[in-house]
């Protein structure tokens, strides 16, 4: 009997907490569009040239920005808090499994893309480094962004977005 009361209380609190709002879903959608744009314009987004024909360098900062890791105004900033709200939804088991698998993929890809992007910023200055090292880590970051893009697509599908 106590278990039933506890389950009922949990269900009521989960329903009161609610799932992702429309604003939350809009953030996910806008973030996904940003990642699509980043991948479609990878070279131009990750290259910075000095004015008046100056030297061009690769820059990983946009990777971190599009992944929601630079500013509280980025659509994907702390998006895992939005993902946590899904536990309050009454989704079919197969969608829930797909959703949680995709959020694990997202978290891993976000962390790895962040690490690789951060490391690439110092690749030129490390012993044995150079522009090739910057590109190596930037390319690794891109692979993780592709994984994150796929995970976000699965998350959106599970939420019928």
- Domain borders along the chain are 19-158
- Has domain 19-158 been given CATH number 1.20.120? yes
Model confidence at 132: pLDDT above 80: yes
Give this prediction's pTM.
Answer: 0.83
pLDDT, tens digit (0-9, with 9 covering 90-100), for 19-43 = 899 999 999 999 999 999 999 999 9
Q: How far apart are alpha carbons 66 and 90 in whole angstroms? A: 30
**Biggest alpha carbon–alpha carbon distance for the chain:** 76
């Amino acid at each position: 009997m106590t278990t039933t009361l506890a389950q009922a209380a949990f269900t009521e609190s989960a329903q009161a907490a609610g799932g992702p709002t429309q604003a939350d879903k809009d953030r996910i959608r806008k973030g996904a569009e940003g990642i699509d744009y980043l991948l479609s314009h990878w070279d131009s987004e990750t290259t910075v040239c000095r004015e008046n024909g100056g030297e061009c360098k690769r820059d990983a900062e946009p990777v971190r920005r599009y992944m929601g890791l630079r500013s509280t105004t980025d659509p994907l900033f702390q998006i895992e808090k939005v993902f946590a709200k899904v536990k309050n939804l009454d989704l079919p088991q197969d969608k829930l499994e797909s959703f949680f698998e995709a959020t694990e993929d997202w978290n891993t890809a976000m962390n790895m893309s962040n690490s690789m992007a951060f490391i690439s910023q110092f690749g030129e200055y490390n012993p044995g480094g150079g522009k090739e090292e910057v590109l190596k880590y930037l390319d690794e970051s891109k692979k993780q962004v592709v994984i994150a893009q796929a995970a976000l697509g699965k998350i959106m599908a599970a939420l019928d977005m």
